Every structure is written in structure tokens, then in C-alpha cells.
Amino acid sequence: MAGYCLRRFFMALSVALTVSVVCFMLLHLSGDLATAIAGPEATAEQVEQIRVQFGLDQPLYVQYFSWLWQALHLDFGQSYYFTESVMSLIHERLPVTLTLGLIALSVATLVAIPLGIVAAIRQDTWIDRAALMIAVIGQAMPSFFFGLVLIIVFAVNLHWLPAGGNTGWKSYILPAIALGYYATPSIMRLTRTGMLEVMGSDYIRTARAKGLSETRVVMKHALRNAVIPVVALLAVELGFMLGGSIVIESVFSLKGLGQLAWDSIARNDYPVVQAIVLLIALFYIVLTFFADLLNAVLDPKLRIT
């Protein structure tokens, strides 16, 4: 197990370093940063002064290692537009995005896994077909469109929930449903496929031959093995929700990391965009790493790969 953990750790570390290089290079490939910071009306002397002030006159590798060293100390510089430290902006907005992502993942999990189990147990029945139809609709419907439908029904017509804004826990319900529903189809289909595979296994037939109840066979023996690939998918889906919440946060006017990214892209606020991209990528890497460890705990065969 220790060797497996070390291999996965060094793999995650190498991916993180690669991501840092890509984030740094994307910023510099976007054009002359000094000109962008100074503005279109700046003189050549002002542009050169800014180039020296921000260290843009140094070799590229020196700039990268300087930026990486500061990033390791959670120092991403100053925002060009908001005129405050990038880390303070992220610290202010990150809890909103994390809360939204965790609630949305909980909604998707609580709906998708039971639906996948029932669809597998009742294969080729109307329940199975209804579950697959829900999956197809969820995969085809854009999350922003579903979010607008939820606003019209539950906020405008019924007045049950707020249409947007950070007004309390109720303001997370509609965006979490909209974001979670988009992840539901993939989790449901993978759960259904895994259950169908294990339900035909020899150890399931043995468990039934011993006289175990169907509920115990499904929940204790079948689900334990069927859920292994779902664990890795949940980690990926949570990373997607954190990174893809920009649309939902814009629709529901949530002041989270996604809306901050949108505002920063629109205003060419490069340090903020760079920090958010790096942070979301690191979330993906960390979540995938822990999903691999959890899979190894659930399936000992993975530890020897």
C-alpha cells in the first residue's frame, strides 16, 4: 500500500508541476503583459517602466521560478482591476464555490446512485427506461438553461426560493440542483453498468444460494464492488463543478470563484485568472489522488498495479 501511495503521489506532483508551467506560459502567450497592464494610451517609457516594475524584463525561466516560489507561499500578486491581493479575493470567494460544489455533488449522488441501483435491479422495465430517459435529458440540457427554468418556476411563479444572490442557505438550493443535475447522468449510468456487471458474478449467486436477503446481497456485496469506479468519477465531477460553476454562478448572481473568474477574464486581470486556473487544476489533482487511494482501500487488487 505504501508503494502504491508513493507512486500516485509522485504522479500527482509531476502533473501539478506541468500544470504550473502551462498556467505560467498561457499568461505570457496572451501577448505583451506590460502593454496590457499599462493600457492602450501609455507611452513607450511608461510601458518600459511597468516592464521593469513587474520583472517582465527578466528571462522567462527566472520569471517562472520567481512566480512559482511566490505561489508556493500563496502569494499570487496584486489584482490589476480590484487593486488588492489575489489571495484575499480568492479567500473571500472560495467558500461560496466550495459550498455550491459540495451541495451539488451531494444532490447528484443522492439521486444518481439509488437511481442506478434500481435501474440495474429492474433492468429492461419501465423504471430502467425512465432512469435512462432522465440521464439523456440531463446530459443534453445545458445547465444554464435548466437554471433559468428553475428560476422561472420556483422563484418567479411560486416564490418559494430566491432567484439569486448570496442571501442565505436558500440561495444555494436552485444553483445546486442545476449544477448537480448535469452530473447525475454520468454517475447514474456508471452505477447501473457496475451493478449489472457484478449482479451476474459467481459470488453474488453464492450469496443468494446461502439464503441471504436480496437487500443484503445488493447493498453489502454488489454495491461495494460496483461503486469503485463511481468513487473516481465523483472526484472528477466535484472538480468539474468547482471549475465549471462560472456559468451557474453568473446565472444565479453568486459571488463565488466562478463569477470572479468571469469578471477577471472580461477585464484582462491576468494574475487573478492565472491563480484561479492553477487553483482549480490543483483541486482536480488532489481529488483524483485521494480517489485513487480510496479505490485502493476498496479494491486491494489495485495496490499491486
Q: Are 164 and 252 in contact (CB under 8 A)?
A: yes
CA separation, residue 228 to residues 74, 102, 187 (Å): 34, 20, 12
How deeply is 180 buried, as exposed, middle or buried, from its count of CB atoms within 10 A (0-12, 13-18, 19+)? buried
Helix, strand counts (H, E) of the chain: 14, 0
Sequence letter at residue 223: L
Distance CA 195, CA 192 (A): 5
pLDDT given for residue 73 in this prediction: 82
- The superfamily (CATH) of domain 94-265 is MetI-like (1.10.3720.10)
Gap between the Cα atoms of 146 and 138, Å rounded = 9
Task: Report whether 87 contacts 161 (CB < 8 A).
Answer: no
Q: Quote the pLDDT of residue 180.
A: 86
Which pLDDT score is estimated for 33? Answer: 67
- pTM above threshold 0.95: no
- Rounded Cα gap, residues 271 and 78, in angstroms: 7
Q: What is the pLDDT of residue 37?
A: 66
Q: Copy the grid coordinates of residue 14.
A: 509531476
The three-state secondary structure class of 206 is helix
Cα 227 to Cα 117: distance, rounded to the nearest angstrom: 10
pLDDT at 38: 65
Q: Which residues of the chain have pLDDT under 50?
A: none
- pLDDT (0 to 100) of residue 132: 84
Query: E strands, the chain, where?
Result: none
Produce one character per residue of 6-31: b if its CB has 16 or more CB atoms within 10 Å, e if not: eebeeebeebbeebbeebbeebeeee
Give pLDDT, residue 299: 64
Task: Report the pLDDT value the prediction gives residue 85, as an integer from 0 to 100.
Answer: 85
> Which residue from 243, 132, 118 is spatially nearest to 189, judged by alpha carbons?
132
